[in-house]
Structure 1
Amino acid sequence: MTIIALYNNYPLASFNHIEKSGSYTLPETAQLKNGKPFFIPDYAVPCLIEVHFAVRISRLGRNIGRRFANRYYDAATVVPHFFSPSMLELAQKNGLPWSSAMGFDSSVPIGDFLSLSSDEVQHQAFSLSVDGKPVMKGNTANMLQSVDEIIADVSRFHTLRRGDLLLTGAPVVPLPITMNSRVEAFLNEEKVLSFNVK
């Protein structure tokens, strides 16, 4: 199972005014399931959180044409993503992989998946709340690349397999997160994930 994450896929969250989105992979060990608490590692302080709309890949594919891409996912969810900004800056400055900064253990909590049609996927509101207060909101209608375009582009380089997870980009800039916080993620009005940060 591979997690593929996009960056620069929303106008408000693009880095350095780069217009084209890019992607990076995260290891399977980055998953955090079943609403278990997220423990901020000592090496990731300060820690930032961002939020992604995500789709689950449902079949094997490579070099997928855009018009066929909607056949390759079957469900969606909202995924918070924790990372270390200081480690990311160091990696970027030295031309090193981002994996230690972005893909450390349990940095990608995953909640419930909802079945959505390909038409519905294109217009989904999603949000993240911390301690009961909404702190991040997005809508897939604002993505620079649609889900189908992302799948067509990413599958040129990565064979997609059933169960892979595609994080389609953060709609707003990340925010600091601290211990003893309660995080909740919503797809439209439906809560798909809740957990504690320790």
Structure 2
Amino acid sequence: MKILGIGSNYVTDLKEIEEKRNNKKFIFSKPESSLAVNCDVDYPSDITSNLIYEVELVVKIGKEGKNISKEDANSYISEIAVGIDYTAADLLNDARETKHPWDFAKGFDGAAPISSFKPASEYNLRDINFDLKINGIEKQKSNTAYMIHNFADIIVFISRYMTLQPGDLIFTGTPAVGKGEIFKGDHLQCSVNGELMLDFKMI
């Protein structure tokens, strides 16, 4: 199973989308061991002191595909969840300065908390609301209409380089504003279209 993510994929103003669609896409990966499904997550204090959260919708691939067409791309999505893309910002900064890979900054144990999945057929993929509350306070909120590269765009792009297989997960980007630092003891709640789907604590 592959876990892939796309960076910088949301805007705050719909007018910005066309301008930014030609920007270079960048994709990163997380190992399967980074997943934490519907459970509390240990704060990784042994490796970082600056942990950053980003709420994202996660799509699961339901069938194998390579060089997938834009017209067919959404048919490869079987299920949808909501998750957090955690980044150890201090490790990421070190990696950027030394031009080393991001693996440890993005792929430590617990770096990818996710909810259970629901069938993609339950959603209008172009109109999904999602949000994150921390300790009861809303921190991030957006709708898939504000994606620079929608689900189909992401699938087409990735499948040019690697075969997508059943069970692969794609973190599809975080709202353009609101990401920030998480602390031990924080309580995170993620909702999709108003339904609470992920509810956990940093311990």
In the superposition, the TM-score normalised over structure 2's length comes to: 0.89
DSSP 3-state at the match of 1:44: coil
Kindly provide the amino acid, as one letter, of the partner of residue 86 in structure 1. Answer: D
Match of 1:85 among 89, 100, 113: 89
What are structure 2's unaligned runs of at least 5 residues? 13-19
1:80·1:108 contact (CA, 8 Å) conserved in 2? yes
- Aligned runs of 1:71-110 on 2, under 5 Å? 71-110=75-114
Deviation at 1:106, TM superposition (A): 1.1
Confirm whether residue 3 of structure 1 aligns to residue 3 of structure 2. yes
Paired position in structure 1 for 2:133: 129
2:63·2:166 contact (CA, 8 Å) conserved in 1? yes
CA distance in 2 between partners of 1:127 and 1:196 (Å):
16
Confirm whether residue 186 of structure 1 aligns to residue 191 of structure 2. yes
Deviation at 1:11, TM superposition (A): 2.7
CA distance in 1 between partners of 2:147 and 2:199 (Å):
25
CA distance in 2 between partners of 1:131 and 1:40 (Å):
19
Deviation at 1:119, TM superposition (A): 6.9
Kindly provide the amino acid, as one letter, of the partner of residue 11 in structure 1. Answer: V
2:79·2:118 contact (CA, 8 Å) conserved in 1? yes
CA distance in 2 between partners of 1:188 and 1:70 (Å):
19
Which string of whole-angstrom CA distances, capped at 9 and with x for unpartnered residues, describes residues 37-94 of structure 1? 3333321211111111111110111111111111111111111121111111111122
DSSP 3-state at the match of 2:160: coil
Question: Residues 119 and 197 of structure 1: is their aligned pair in 2 closer, same or farther, counting only changes over 3 Å?
Answer: closer
1:38·1:195 contact (CA, 8 Å) conserved in 2? no
Paired position in structure 2 for 1:51: 55
Confirm whether residue 65 of structure 1 aligns to residue 69 of structure 2. yes
Paired position in structure 1 for 2:17: none
> How many residues are paired up?
194
1:58·1:161 contact (CA, 8 Å) conserved in 2? yes
DSSP 3-state at the match of 1:112: coil
Paired position in structure 1 for 2:165: 161
DSSP 3-state at the match of 2:39: coil
Percent identity between the aligned chains? Answer: 30
Deviation at 1:19, TM superposition (A): 3.1
Question: Residues 93 and 118 of structure 1: is their aligned pair in 2 closer, same or farther, counting only changes over 3 Å?
Answer: farther
DSSP 3-state at the match of 1:43: coil
1:9·1:20 contact (CA, 8 Å) conserved in 2? no
Question: Residues 105 and 64 of structure 1: is their aligned pair in 2 closer, same or farther, counting only changes over 3 Å?
Answer: same
Question: Residues 101 and 38 of structure 1: is their aligned pair in 2 closer, same or farther, counting only changes over 3 Å?
Answer: same
